[in-house]
Structure 1
Amino acid sequence: MTQSRRDEPELGYGKPPVSNRFKKGQSGNPKGRPKNRKRGLPYDHILGQMVTIREGGRERRVTAAEAFLLHLTKKGLEGDSAAARAALAAIEDARSKRPEEQTLARTIVCKSVSPGSVGQAIDALGMAVKLHPYTKDARYALKPWIVQVAVNRLKPGKLTLADQQVVVAATRTPEKVVWPDWWEARS
């Protein structure tokens, strides 16, 4: 038995087989149009280029937008009313596009530091202890751990014997420090 040609679906250009056709409700382009570069004119690129201008016999580099605005302003000041209007319009346009100023904290806290306050900092950090705090002989003595860290970083011969003696004298408990072999001053 042969089917009539009317029962067969038409195939060809623009008429795909029924099995390959889009289902109802399914888009033929689910991802949409691919993104391309902007088709508009590249104003930002052109006006962002650096150009050299001469003002009062001195050359300086500015953006093309700034040079254009300076030229318009100059013509406006010379009496060209159209250029003056264009310059003012460009300035107002730039101001309107500028983001609004954020409210910043307007309070400035100023804390003065005197040279003697370094002791307070190293005391707070646990690096030193104040000895005899209520006498004229008050001084800070470094804790052994900070001296140990500093001594471990030194290379042999970096400190003279006199410098080593100062370090030992400034250490609160020098017997707790593991002095390197090259260290000559002892407690």
Structure 2
Amino acid sequence: WNYRAEDGGGIVLDMFPHWAYVLENLFGRVEAVTARAVTHIGERVDEHGRRYKVTADDAAYAIFEVAGGVIAQINSSWAVRVNRDELVEFQVDGTHGSAVAGLRGCRIQHRAGTPMPVWNPDLPVTEPFREQWQEVPDNAEFGNGFKTQWEMFVRHVVEDAPFPYDLASGARGVQIAELGLRSSAQGVR
């Protein structure tokens, strides 16, 4: 990762273009971004053991407004310790249920199966919340996503096959990152 803003680094520039196509492919095009980009670790050590000042954002907290009224909140950080089942997970909450999807698995809970626990801060939680979700079975085997995209691109170049990730798609991703940085710079301090 590049921790120097002057060298083009920063988690917003690194991750927001990815969030743009993830959101676009799952829910719709991103229409607005509100973000706060910060640097939590101000000094790092390079591969030669030399300390240097970090000038790039290493965490970003964002709200994406997606076509159709979908609101997505995504936190990105290079300073996080993973405490979840997979390296990346997305929780989607809707009026009829929720899903938590990672790179390998997905769990769901329908509205009708959602428990109505009584919250008491003076007592430990006794509800087995995770156990109340259902695993979505693997009905198909999916290959490596990066390999699949490369194969699609090669077919596009050689056979003129359709390819959804064109220059405009890439430009939208960069635009989302720029809007996130602009929003963060204009934010209330």
Q: Give TM-score scaled by structure 1 length.
A: 0.18
* TM-score under structure 2 length normalisation: 0.18
Greater RCO (CA < 8 Å, at least 6 residues apart):
2
Which structure is higher in helix share?
1
Q: Which has the higher strand share?
A: 2
